[in-house]
Amino acid sequence: MNKVDLSKFNNSWYNRGSEFKCLFWYLCNIAFLKSSLPYPSWFKIMILKLFGAKISWKTVIKPCVNIKYPWFLEIGDNVCISQGSYIFTGNHNYKKVNFELMIKPITIEDGVWVGAKAIVSPGSILKSHSVLSVGTVFNGVA
């Protein structure tokens, strides 16, 4: 088995967006989505839409949700994203010497419930009316 050598890590090919966009999102994410303050879902959705998320106004987003890059996110109607959920579109390949960055979009279809403290991994597709229970780590199609 090859050992990871982080000196070989290079993700310069990856375009996550401009530094300004990422910094502005980071601040908005901390202030409004990761916050435990009960901002209304419509307000969070508006912010996500401003950053390019494809998300329905019929989505409920509870406090303390972390979304890394909303411009790679698509969420259907009547979806509930519960407290402490983490939705991220990137990860690393620990089997590669260079710890290669892997990026995949996430699709959350209509009627999905992402339970409290659930983690949704890159490339996940949550089909209509699927449920991720509390603390689930999900990577795949449900």
Question: Has residue 5 been placed in a domain?
Answer: no
- In angstroms, the CA 50 to CA 44 distance is 10
pLDDT value at position 9?
Answer: 92
Kindly tell me if the per-residue pLDDT of 33 is higher than 70: yes
- pLDDT tens-digit series, residues 73-119: 888 899 999 999 988 888 898 889 999 999 888 889 999 999 999 99
The CATH number of the domain holding residue 89 is 2.160.10.10
Question: Has residue 6 been placed in a domain?
Answer: no
Please answer whether residues 107 and 91 qualify as being in contact, where contact means their C-beta atoms are separated by less than 8 angstroms: no
Question: Has residue 2 been placed in a domain?
Answer: no
pLDDT value at position 29?
Answer: 96
Q: In terms of residue numbers, what domain contains 30?
A: 17-138
Q: Where residue 1 falls among pLDDT bands split at 50, 70, 90?
A: low
Domain count, the chain: 1
pTM: 0.83
Question: Has residue 121 been placed in a domain?
Answer: yes
